[in-house]
Amino acid sequence: MKAIVFKKPGAYTFEDRPKPEINNSDDVLIKVLGAGICGTDLHVLMDPPLHPATPNIIMGHEYCGEVAEVGSAVDWLKPGDKVVVDPHPPCGHCKHCRSDRPEMCTSLYLKDSMFPDHCATRGLFQDGAFTSYTCVPAQAVYKIAQDTPFQLAALAEPLSCVGYAIEKLKIQAGDTVCVLGAGPIGLLFTAMAKANGAARIIVSEPHEFRRQKALKCGATRIVNPKEEDLKSICLEETDGIGVDCCIEAVGQLLQDAITMVRPNGRVMMFGHDETARPPIHLAEIVRKEVQIYGGFLGKYYFEKTARIIESGILPLQEIVTHIFPLSEFEKGLELLRNGKALKVVIYPEEY
């Protein structure tokens, strides 16, 4: 099978790889239907990189597929089932997993010698889904309705992370929300905030194309931060007190988020930039008693994510802007690098 293989910072190859096989009783062989290019993939392919990855692994961690074969111990999945896949299932054995913190599993980055087939994030530290088939443990597989378009099902991984972060913020009907950044993650946050009943959603984004997408995803007001004063607009929209919640989906704007919220307001720091070292006005956090949360992976959220996608309650079709075959992976990368795409979904070709 053909595959996109990470070689070193700034370099990947399009090469032949053997089709994986079931080796364990709880394995599931999955025919890939679609896999999204994540911002993390762009960071991995930068030189110097902004995110680590293991050389010679098949890339791709946001994906859906169809069950092709199951191991002898798997009795709740069958060939033909459409599924979404958690690329970073917890090992279940480390201290974090055994203390109700599976999203912090110590095995997500390095293979554990005791459980080598159940650890390390797929597409980053072991083989992922920019190819035709993957083999994963059954605990990582979740059914989704057969009529779900593959390009929307491929959003399950980022949506699970966003959904769990939204639950931390406890956004409720009537809340005011500011979202910094209208990339795929910012738009998912916008759509989820709207679905949770937020009355006003202010989205700050310098690119007009993304601002217009934000409106379609639930924003009630869009702001160009290069031309408008975001703080003044947030105060104007909230009778002068600031928003209830601010979601940072960029990676470098934590101080801006702190500034936008009301006293005792809530901030979600979600944008992932390993190089960011922004100056923070600590006194403002103390004086306003700001509650700051970090968001990374979804916790037990994939089952719920599948139901959310099936429901059609979110305008996910606005977020997937391009679909390409595996052989045109580079085209998708270039569109993303040039800011001309939001979510690009790749599908494998038959050779």
Catalytic positions are: 40, 43
Distance, in Å, from the CA atom of 190 to the CA atom of 68, rounded to the nearest integer, reads: 35
Q: What does the DSSP 8-state code read for residue 102?
A: G
Distance, in Å, from the CA atom of 79 to the CA atom of 114, rounded to the nearest integer, reads: 29
* Two tokens, residue 54: 């293991």
Q: How many CA atoms lie within 13 A of 292 on its CB side?
A: 19
Distance, in Å, from the CA atom of 169 to the CA atom of 88, rounded to the nearest integer, reads: 23
Beta bridge partners of 269: 248, 294
For 85, other C-beta atoms within 10 Å of its C-beta total: 27
- The 3-state DSSP class for residue 207 equals coil
* H or E stretch covering 131: none
Distances (CA, A) of 143 to 23, 38, 147, 233, 310: 22, 22, 12, 43, 11
Distance, in Å, from the CA atom of 181 to the CA atom of 296, rounded to the nearest integer, reads: 16
Distance, in Å, from the CA atom of 11 to the CA atom of 168, rounded to the nearest integer, reads: 37
Distances (CA, A) of 301 to 5, 89, 119, 261: 29, 11, 18, 27
